[in-house]
Homo-oligomer: A and B are copies of this chain.
Amino acid sequence: MKAAAPPRGFGIEEYEQRTDNAQRRMARDGVDALLLTTEADIRYFTGFLTAFWQSPTRPWFLVIPSAGKPVAVIPEIGRECMAACWIDDIRTWPAPRFIDDGISLLADLLHVCCLAGGAVGTPMGPESHLRMPLDDYMALRDRLANLTFCDATPVIRDLRMLKSEAEIAKLRHICGLVSDGFANLASIAAVGVVEREIFRRFRIDLLSRGADDVPYLVGGSGPDGPRDIISPPSGRSIAPGDILMMDTGAVFDGYYCDFDRNVGFVEVTDEACRAYDTVYRATEAGLRTARPGATSGDLWAAMAPHLEDAGSGRFGHGLGMQLTEPPSNMKDDATVMQPGMVMTLEPALAFGDGGIMVHEENLVIRDGPPELLTQRASRDIPVLM
């Protein structure tokens, strides 16, 4: 590890600020209580960090009332872990209890939070899902028939898009670690080595450098790079003339990087070099445009002229507690860049016989030029001998 790791967790004032921001927005939007069910949303307001979400068996609930601290309604097994956070009011039940998996507790709480006719907001819009059984959600609504349920996607989206400096420090750290890992790729990847083994070594390398985990690692190899950019590595061996693409989402303290690198072996076709150059220049155009006041659509428009079939393309997105977050660098996304937003630029180009060239960088919108969190990809495609 080159740089010292930033401190883990956040000070209580950060959670107070997030909660205060949510409550101001709730007041503006007429939301009396915010109901959250997903890992990232609950962690954002509590600091509750555990891999236990891998188990789909139990639902977890967090309610943000119009004033005061969030209230956790969670399985008993999570009490100790939640009690170590800043939350005071923790209500538990012995989950799983399929006859009433927290629904009575949750209904009682929401009933107190909202006057008759009040509104419970929960994310229902793009990029959201409700992490609880649908039958239980319907039962909750039946029990609270005097309340309305409304979409609170914008509340969460607008809050979480703007990162604090403490959040950015974690993102900078993981981007730096993985940049160092990519710089070391020559010691890991070579002609004759099986894709799956290269990916395994890379995962181990990133853990050794201080990544907590590498939940996302996809890509592949081929004469014009992989044809499929979301598959796990295969049993294919690297051959001369191949391009290897690795796209990596590693985490530090619950914050993700998301970027890829391309590397050739022995020789690279002129066509692939041109594709690399084109996508590199598209990224440069995106970097020049990534300023406060520009929209996601402007970022798209800066990159699109370099790329074919750009119409419906998504050339990057928000980044933070999840691998991909709003906004999307798409033609129609009018989200305005603000200092503190963390974005990826991810132009892609189809070329040759079914090849795809994708570049990706991670950055922070700042007053003036963006802060690049990733070590910029090399100007020309690196070729390992």
Q: Which positions in A face B, CB cutoff 8 Å?
A: 8, 38, 40, 49-52, 54-57, 76-78, 80-81, 84, 94, 96-98, 101, 122-135, 137-138, 151, 200, 203-204, 207-208, 212-218, 227-232, 235, 249, 312-314, 317, 322-324, 328, 330
Per assembly, the copies of the chain total 2
**What secondary structure prevails in chain A residues at the interface with B?**
loop
- Nearest opposing residue in chain B for A203, CB measure: B207
Min distance, Cβ A156 to any Cβ of chain B, angstroms: 12
Contacts of A133 in B (CB 8 A): 123-129
A323 to chain B, nearest CB (A): 5
Q: Give the residues in chain B near A78, CB-CB below 8 Å.
A: 230
**Is the beta-carbon distance between B125 and A135 smaller than 8 angstroms?**
yes
Contact A126/B98 with A208-B204, A228-B80 known, Cβ cut-off 8 Å = yes
Q: Find A96's partner among B76, B122, B127 (CB 8 Å cutoff).
A: B127
Contact of A324 among B49, B57, B134, B135 (CB under 8 A): B57
Chain B nearest CB, measured from A48 CB (Å): 10
Is the beta-carbon distance between B50 and A322 smaller than 8 angstroms?
no
B230 contacts A50, C-beta separation under 8 Å: yes
- A153 CB to closest chain B CB (Å) equals 8
A54 touches B125 (CB 8 A): no
Please state if B126 and A129 are interface contacts (CB–CB under 8 Å). Answer: no
